[in-house]
Amino acid sequence: MSWGASLKKCFAVGLGQILNFQYTMRRTRVRHRNKIITGNLWRGNQRRQMVVTINVYSFRKQRIMALSVIIPPLAAFVVTLLATPVVRMASRRWGFVANPAGDRWHVAPTPLHGGIAISLGLLVAALLAGVHVYLILGIGLVFLLGLTDDLFHLSPLLRVLVELVAALLIIASGLGGVELWSPACIVAIVWIVLVSNAINLIDGADGVAASVVAATATVGGVFLLASGSVELAVLSISLAAVSFGFLTFNWPPATIFMGDSGSLVLGYLLAIIALEAGFIASGDQFILTYAVAFAFVAVPFLDATFVALVRIVLGQNPARGGTHHIHHRLRLAGLSARQTATTLGMLAAVSVSTIVLSLSQPTLFGMMLLFGATFLLLLEALLVHQTGFLPSKSGETAERRAMSRLYGWMRRISPAPKVAADAVVIATAASVAGALTQSGPATAGGAALLLAIFVTVKVAILWGMRLYRQQWLMSAGTPDLIRVLAAIVLGSVVTALIMTLVTSLNVGARFIAADFLAATLGLLGLRIGFRMFHSLIGVQRRSGTRVLIYGAGQAGAFAARELRQNADRRLKPVGFLDDDPAKEGSKLYGLSIFGDLSNLERAAKLTLAEQVILSSSKIPYERSRQIMLACRALGLRCSRMTFEFNEDAVGNGGDGFKIQDAAITVPSL
């Protein structure tokens, strides 16, 4: 069938399906390079004539353009997918493997130099896309740098010098929108070097670097394609394709590592794509350019910055490796390798997507960027709270003296971090309200005044209601949330009264209502979300003795929550037993209730439990003795947990209970 006949058939069938018409072809003719299709549309007894004109050359041009977008990424994916097993086999044969070490998470020797396959796929895509020769030279130079460093461990100074040369090649090619040897050129070069090393630093766990780059490059490619920058969009999508291809073998448990030859190349290209995307989105506005570029690399960049600052404060070398990055902390907190890679990849995709979608509203864009950065820093802080400032792979923390010094410094600045986080949420809520209602100040000065009023009033009310005296991670109970909600309501009322006096800011009832909803979701969500994440970490924790809790009442529920959230006890609840037949088969805190004592053996086998804890003081002595004898028969340790009521806990925002180290006893009953 000819091209024209195929086109006519597809057109007729597609239009008929959409409009529920029967189509009969009458004639076609070509006039002035246009293919004119004339036919009849029938619907019942009604006939309508249809004439469609298609520019054949335009159609073919669009088809060629579509192929030029698809072929380079597809080729990059296939080349990486085929080359990686070859590199893996060669590395294993020639002894280029990474052996398990104290700061490494793998348990078996794993082949290195997967960056060879990554760089090969990217070079093929770059050649097919017809990018500037300087970009190809830059990719090759960074690859050789990474490979040489993998083999011979170059000095940091030499590495930085070579990275500066590679960054200079990009500026000379015209990418990044800056002139050579201008002040902006220096900033762009430093940017490329920093991002390249930030990606290199997060390549410390299986699949993390590839997942983050794949997610970011995919979103970036879509944005660049929609912006009309086809060449760079092809490069971004090719970067995502290469990452997905390598991720096939690097997904936990990884069978090959990319090494510096891969991570530096990925970071190098991601820095270029982020910088060019910022230039396209900002229209040559310097600050906005780097704000957009920062959104593309927020996860690795903030993590590297946070770790460097912590090490500097503690007197450590910020360039030294270790298990202090976000992926290490997530693993130490209990997440699996796959959960860690998935979490960080999703964070990268969400951060880029959210920022890109808010570009049309400058104020909203700025606040969303600040909100995202605050969220990531709070996540880091929560993980530090869970794992310590300088954790080791075994879960023990190091440098006790330095840590106590940093803890003292944090106590002195408290509650400044809490106030800053709430201020960012409040300002973001006001920006969202303005974007949703299309109201608010029309000038940047007016927007700044509006945000200052809203933040000052609401933070003052939160402070006045003593909400910053609570332990933030532990203050998500119902009474505390009601107090937060009351503060939000009062804050909305006060700001509404102020806005009736300051009419120049163009804030009406719709704005106040939208701001109230956004602030409620933000402030309550911040507290509930971190409490939920804190609980999730306890659920995911894999270390510790596996215990069954006897008693699925309030005491048992409290025991499960305490054991999950307090890693120092080294006990992990895996299920419940209870004498109440109505509870059998149900769940409490996600843990199964297996029934009474007769089900102890079955529960122990299913959960691999090593210990049974009696949580309730209401269990009679004779029943306790029966449980003890049953545990001894099965080789299980039997313990009793007691609770002490501490009045001081109430003043600190707790629930009236405080479990001390001596409160859990393990003698034979």
Per residue in 605-629, pLDDT (tens digit) is: 888 888 898 887 777 888 888 888 8
43: Cβ contacts below 8 Å, ≥ 6 apart: 19, 20, 21, 22
CA 305 to chain centre: 16
**30/296: higher pLDDT:** 296
Q: Measuring CA to CA, which residue among 211, 232, 231 is closest to residue 220?
A: 232
Q: What is the pLDDT at residue 58?
A: 52
Is residue 118 pLDDT above 70, yes or no? yes
Task: For residue 164, give the amino acid letter.
Answer: L
The side-by-side arrangement of strands in the sheet containing 46-55 is 22-31, 34-43, 46-55
Q: What is the mean pLDDT of residues 434-451?
A: 88
pLDDT reported for residue 323 = 66
Judged against a pLDDT cut of 90, whether residue 455 lies above it is answered with: yes
Rounded CA gap, 418 and 285, in Å?
Answer: 32
CA distance 466 to 463: 5
pLDDT at 137: 94
Cα distance between residue 217 and residue 297, in whole Å: 10
Per-residue pLDDT tens digits for 417-431 = 788 889 999 999 999
The pLDDT value recorded for residue 619 is 78
Q: Would you place residue 218 in the very low, low, confident or very high pLDDT band (cuts 50, 70, 90)?
A: very high
Q: Is the pLDDT of residue 7 over 70?
A: no
Count of CB atoms situated within 10 Å of the CB of 420:
14
For residue 640, the model assigns a pLDDT of 81
Number of H helices, E strands in the chain: 23, 14
Pairing label, strands 587-588, 637-641: unpaired
Backbone angles phi, psi at 294, to 5 degrees: -60, -35
Q: What are the pLDDT digits (tens) for 368-417?
A: 888 888 888 888 877 776 666 666 555 445 455 555 555 566 666 667 77
Of 80, 111, 457, 452, which is closest to residue 259 (Cα–Cα)?
A: 111
Percent of the chain with pLDDT over 70: 75
pLDDT for residue 356: 79
pLDDT at residue 402, rounded to an integer: 55
The whole-number pLDDT of residue 649 equals 43
Largest CA distance in the chain: 100
Say which residues have a Cβ less than 8 Å from residue 256's Cβ, sequence separation at least 6: 84, 87, 88, 91, 110, 111, 112, 114, 249, 250
- Condensed to tens digits (0 to 9), the pLDDT of residues 627-637 reads 888 898 888 88
The C-alpha atoms of residue 131 and residue 175 are separated, in whole angstroms, by 10
pLDDT (tens digit per residue) in 66-84: 677 889 999 999 999 999 9
Between 16 and 454, the higher pLDDT residue: 454
* Mean pLDDT within 285-305: 88
Location of structure tokens 């490979």: 147
Mean pLDDT, rounded, of the chain: 79
Cα–Cα dist 198/52, whole Å: 54
**Tokens for 465?**
């209601």
Q: Residue 240 pLDDT more than 90? A: yes
Average pLDDT on 308-325 reads 71
Confidence of residue 25 (pLDDT cuts 50, 70, 90): very low
pTM (2 d.p.): 0.73
- Integer CA distances (angstroms), 7 to 16, 24, 36, 92, 288, in order: 14, 14, 12, 53, 45
The conformation of residue 316, written as its DSSP 8-state character, comes to -
Residue 370 token pair: 């600040």
- How far from each other are the two terminal CA atoms of the chain, in whole angstroms? 87
Say if CB 190 and CB 160 are below 8 A apart: no
Q: Across the strands, what pairs with 48?
A: 41
Count the Cβ atoms, other than its own, within 10 Å of residue 486.
13
- Note whether 429 and 519 are within 8 A (CB): yes
User: Which CA distances in Å does 547 have to 130, 186, 336, 558, 639?
Assistant: 61, 58, 20, 14, 10
Residue 102's pLDDT is 57
**If pLDDT is split at 50, 70 and 90, which confidence band does 534 have?**
low
d(CA 107, CA 254): 11
Q: Which residue has the higher pLDDT, 641 or 301?
A: 301
> What pLDDT does 657 receive?
42
Q: What is the pLDDT of residues 337-369, one digit of tens each?
A: 888 899 999 999 988 888 778 887 777 888 888
Greater model confidence, 424 or 52: 424
CB-based contact 467:653 (threshold 8 Å): no
H or E segment and range at residue 513:
helix 509-540
Of 626, 629, 623, 665, give the one whose Cα is nearest residue 644: 665
Q: Which range (11-15, 139-143, 166-170, 356-360) has the least confidence?
A: 11-15
* Beta carbons of 573 and 559 less than 8 angstroms apart: yes
SS3 46: strand
**For 179-255, where are the alpha helices, taking DSSP H only?**
183-202, 208-226, 230-250
Please name every residue paired with 572 in a beta bridge, in sequence order, or none if there are none: 546
